[in-house]
Structure 1
């Protein structure tokens, strides 16, 4: 009868276990040392509507936590440190005052890479963000997996404008082949209204710079009214004869 012998020797350690929360430490350390400074620089200095007075943020300092981690857990408080910033306020060509102000408490990371918020332990999970730019979903499919087609048997194009900061812009063409955009969770708007809102073009300059040949085949989104008379209705297709007969 064969006897099975158990080897109770411990396997030697081949690879040291990695520090799995090191990325949390490094990210939070960068935020305290450099991230806050870059954040203040994004909106500092702040000028009033006249441009005569300004408010500028300078160096900042971090204090010590008022309570320990255990005390924050027992009292259901947030483990945080005070944040103070030196600010300069004054007139552009006049007297400038400098003082240190208290902005608030900043949550402090514990040794375990977590945060204590209202007595409860929280952790920040790293996520991947999409690269800023313009993205075109391919191959232009709907959520059901079928290719979306307009009434004119042309593809309904979709796009996403992802800025480095701020809300996304979702949009594309609708069944009437009109380009529409949606800002965050608002309804879809014609791209012409978005351009007007951004004040990219002066409304009076658009007709003067537009060539008539380029407008042939376009569809009106808004009515054209002159002296109480409606010249064009929404949905009308522009032709060369129609454009040439419009009053200047």
Structure 2
């Protein structure tokens, strides 16, 4: 039970937020996906999440369905295709059901609730844009720190945190957060991209979590844009399940 609780505490919940969609105005980077086109797309994604922390190492498979900017459903599977978790979210509400341990989380998908459940200093909007390999801010709001050939490093200070974005050939290859004492808080690498139809999306995302002294790798094996969006992805949580609410 311990290893599942740790995972829920951090990255099964966060991955679900990541795979949800949202409405966001931004200025697309030259050569990158159109933010509006990608936000409107509906697709199914399959892949693997690998977690390595001092207290455990764990892998799980996931299947997610995303409907434009409106809603998303996701399921996580362990060995022998055993269902571990299923979840649903739209812009106003989310539900997360840990089938294995028989408990659930429901609430509103705000940045405060994301931090409560994961301790990750990113907003819902930030996480989704990073998952799609896009800048989380308009380029004209960033400061160009240096340029070396096809690589450009941008930064922006937000309160007590400084955000860094390393672009190579107009693609995001690294996102980093530091505090004002220059200590790394979060480091995300995008070592590999894949082109599917009209979209270029990360195939692999590596997250280095300084506070948790661990890493999380997300590998997206398959994306299918021909997905049935006529059926709702929401579900009913059994009455016998203990529910934690984040309002």
TM tier relative to shorter chain: under 0.3
- Flag the structure with higher strand content: 2
Larger radius of gyration: 1
> Which structure is richer in relative contact order (CA contacts within 8 A, separation 6 or more)?
2
Q: Provide TM-score, normalisation by structure 1.
A: 0.21
